Structure 1
Amino acid sequence: MKDRCISVYYREMARNFDIALIRTFTAVADHGSMTVAANMLHMTQSAVSQQIKRLEDMLGCTLFERENRGLRLTDAGERLLGNARRMLILNDDIWADMTETIVEGSVRLGVPHDLVGTVLAPVLKAYAERHPQVEISLVCGSSPELMQALDNGAIDLGIIEEPLGTSKGECLTVDRLVWVGAKAGSAYRKSPLPISMVADTCAFRPSVFAALRDDGRRWRTVFENGNIEATTATVRTDLAITTWLASTVPADLDILGAGDGLPDLPIFSVNLYLSKSEATPPATELARHIREGLMRPRQIAAA
């Protein structure tokens, strides 16, 4: 009876959305998991669950249903999601417009090879157009190399790829590590399995080789010289397979999986780290653009 009264109160009296509830709802919807959403939002799973319950009480409907592989949106949840994404974009645009100040100076950003030309390219372009007075220096490397650069003060902020749950940075997004091969290729059938990695310091390398060891597979490395274009070429020509985050796989390559006899790979998080020294205005503003930019493509596509 008490829960029913609370639900009636929210429906009849609460007409203003709490933007924090909307942000939590979209995070759960994007990943189909309260656990993953909690990791991204730096909240406990219990807090995420409570926020979803509060939003459901406000609207008087169920937004998610549980299934074997996680959570699935109900019809009401699907109806809310598009409007929720638009609300977040408008909220963030208004906030940026009202609080923005002139930023000038320089900023050094460290980015993994596989992200600089894919998900981060439009973010960097938008930042440069909005703050033409800022000089951006881009440092590309593997995630372990970029962490060292952060510790040494060689960069002001870094985008770091790490296995989910191991990071002390700010989680921007999560993505599954996948096997990648040539279209209609056969390299994945070879033994030992030919693997092409961007560098011997690649953040994916320990997880990939551990998965192969656990699966009893033999492998050999074909390329590890720190060049993303050369790695891509070895895959396109079917000399080897590689591993990338699912969102960065080029359209002309295939994602391989268990059906191709390959072991499952773990989920990785893409994390933001700021230098241990005091953050400068250009670095702080770039961090904000990166946070919003990594969400925006997903929001617009689904709106």
Structure 2
Amino acid sequence: MRNLDIDLLRTFVAIAQYETFAAAAARVVRTQSAVTQQMQRLEEEMGCALFEKRGRHKTMTPDGVRLVAYAHKILALNDQAVQVIQTGGPIEKIRIGSPHDVADSILPNLLRRLSKLSPELQMEINVGRSPFLMDALRDKTLDLAISTRYDDAFPGIKLRTSPMVWICAEDFIFNPAAPVPLVLADELSLFRKLSIECLDAHHIPWRTSYLSPTLTGIKAAISAGLGVTARTTELLDANMRVLTEADGLPRLPEVAFYLYVQPTCTSAVLRDLFDSTDRIATRFGPPFM
């Protein structure tokens, strides 16, 4: 059984991340020729070609692509073991923010992935509103945040989009001839903005039936039959239903959920999470070094 050299894997991951030998060399503080020699040694250890030449550039072979995921895990465990033994305690604490809307859907999956990357990791969770989560990133009181706000000032990844729908109580009687009784958040809310813009664009009258700055208050008002709100499908409970164009309400846009990381964060675990997510999502903003 062959033993893989950690230094070689670290350079290999840098090449996967920065896509060229030259950029990876700068990252690992080696010359480009030294990086080339390292990759030749890694190919000898693996017994297969990890790169192939296409024009003037080298790209990863299918075997190389497969090795990337394992290399991330090996490096994460290596770094974790060294830090745990040296410090005698957990390697680090990660501060994570999430909107209420996806605290039961996107957030658990994110926490699960972080835990697999570093079982000793301490995680501090802040469930709040997207504008405040973005402020916390700016203030450096969060390391990682899920948000509905697009901001290319931060290294970001578009995780997914969710359908936005009109929601009311199961037994709510909707009258399309009357102004739509809206259950709204305050003026900071993206959902408030999109729902009002949509109704105004279709010349549909509306009125504020209930106003709450919290998702808990909005859900309570909907469950009580006080009106209609526009939200992603994550809000739906068993005692709620969706109003559609057949009921006289216009189609709403989708809402995107983004993952942001604090640019100055030096966490190797977050870098591994970000890089692995980047392979299946759309990255934007400055690079996360």
Question: Could you state the TM-score of these two structures normalised by the residue count of structure 1?
Answer: 0.56
Does residue 265 in structure 1 map to residue 252 in structure 2? Answer: yes
Question: 1:237 and 1:129, CA in 2 relative to 1: closer, same or farther beyond 3 A?
Answer: farther
Tell me the distance in 1 between the aligned counterparts of 2:186 and 2:270. Answer: 27
Q: How many angstroms does 1:253 deviate by?
A: 2.0
The one-letter amino acid paired with 1:191 is A
Does residue 100 in structure 1 map to residue 87 in structure 2? Answer: no
**Contact 1:123-1:293 within 8 A present in 2 as well:** no
Q: How many angstroms does 1:293 deviate by?
A: 11
The one-letter amino acid paired with 1:118 is S
Question: 1:253 and 1:284, CA in 2 relative to 1: closer, same or farther beyond 3 A?
Answer: farther
Instruction: Report the count of equivalent residues.
Output: 202
**Contact 1:187-1:194 within 8 A present in 2 as well:** no
Q: Which residue of 1 aligns with 2:241?
A: 254
Tell me the distance in 1 between the aligned counterparts of 2:253 and 2:147. Answer: 16
Q: Which residue of 1 aligns with 2:179?
A: 192
Q: How many angstroms does 1:147 deviate by?
A: 1.9
Tell me the distance in 2 between the aligned counterparts of 1:210 and 1:194. Answer: 15
Q: CA RMSD in A?
A: 3.2
Q: Which residue of 1 aligns with 2:159?
A: 172
The one-letter amino acid paired with 1:219 is W
Q: Which residue of 2 aligns with 1:154?
A: 141
Q: How many angstroms does 1:244 deviate by?
A: 1.8
Does residue 237 in structure 1 map to residue 213 in structure 2? Answer: no
**Contact 2:114-2:269 within 8 A present in 1 as well:** no
**Contact 1:194-1:219 within 8 A present in 2 as well:** yes
Question: 1:146 and 1:212, CA in 2 relative to 1: closer, same or farther beyond 3 A?
Answer: same
Identity of aligned residues (%): 22
Q: Which residue of 2 aligns with 1:139?
A: 126
Q: How many angstroms does 1:136 deviate by?
A: 1.5
Q: How many angstroms does 1:210 deviate by?
A: 0.6
Question: 1:152 and 1:277, CA in 2 relative to 1: closer, same or farther beyond 3 A?
Answer: same
Question: 1:126 and 1:171, CA in 2 relative to 1: closer, same or farther beyond 3 A?
Answer: closer
Question: 1:246 and 1:94, CA in 2 relative to 1: closer, same or farther beyond 3 A?
Answer: farther
Q: How many angstroms does 1:225 deviate by?
A: 3.3
Q: Greater helix share, 1 or 2? A: 1
Q: How many angstroms does 1:93 deviate by?
A: 6.9
**Contact 2:187-2:193 within 8 A present in 1 as well:** no
Tell me the alpha carbon deviations over residues 104-145 of structure 1, each in whole angstroms, 9 at most, x when there is no partner. Answer: 211111211111123323432553476342222222222222
Tell me the alpha carbon deviations over residues 194-226 of structure 1, each in whole angstroms, 9 at most, x when there is no partner. Answer: 222344322222111111111222323344433
Give secondary structure in 1 for the equivalent of 2:142: coil
Give secondary structure in 2 for the equivalent of 1:270: strand
Tell me the alpha carbon deviations over residues 47-79 of structure 1, each in whole angstroms, 9 at most, x when there is no partner. Answer: xxxxxxxxxxxxxxxxxxxxxxxxxxxxxxxxx
The one-letter amino acid paired with 2:247 is D
Question: 1:292 and 1:123, CA in 2 relative to 1: closer, same or farther beyond 3 A?
Answer: farther
Question: 1:216 and 1:156, CA in 2 relative to 1: closer, same or farther beyond 3 A?
Answer: same
Rg bigger for which structure? Answer: 2
User: Tell me, which stretches of 5 or more residues in structure 2 are unaligned?
Assistant: 1-65, 81-90, 282-289
Give secondary structure in 2 for the equivalent of 1:211: helix
Tell me the distance in 2 between the aligned counterparts of 1:113 and 1:223. Answer: 19
Alignment of 1:203-242 (within 5 A): 203-242=190-229
Tell me the distance in 1 between the aligned counterparts of 2:72 and 2:177. Answer: 52
Tell me the distance in 2 between the aligned counterparts of 1:138 and 1:190. Answer: 44
**Contact 1:173-1:271 within 8 A present in 2 as well:** yes
Question: 1:223 and 1:127, CA in 2 relative to 1: closer, same or farther beyond 3 A?
Answer: farther
Alignment of 1:29-108 (within 5 A): 94=70, 97-101=73-77, 102-103=79-80, 104-108=91-95
Q: How many angstroms does 1:151 deviate by?
A: 1.8
**Contact 1:188-1:194 within 8 A present in 2 as well:** no
Q: How many angstroms does 1:99 deviate by?
A: 4.4
Q: How many angstroms does 1:235 deviate by?
A: 1.1
Tell me the distance in 2 between the aligned counterparts of 1:148 and 1:241. Answer: 29
Tell me the distance in 2 between the aligned counterparts of 1:189 and 1:273. Answer: 40
For residue 281 of structure 1, the aligned residue among 256, 268, 273 is 268
Question: 1:129 and 1:94, CA in 2 relative to 1: closer, same or farther beyond 3 A?
Answer: closer
Give secondary structure in 1 for the equivalent of 2:242: strand
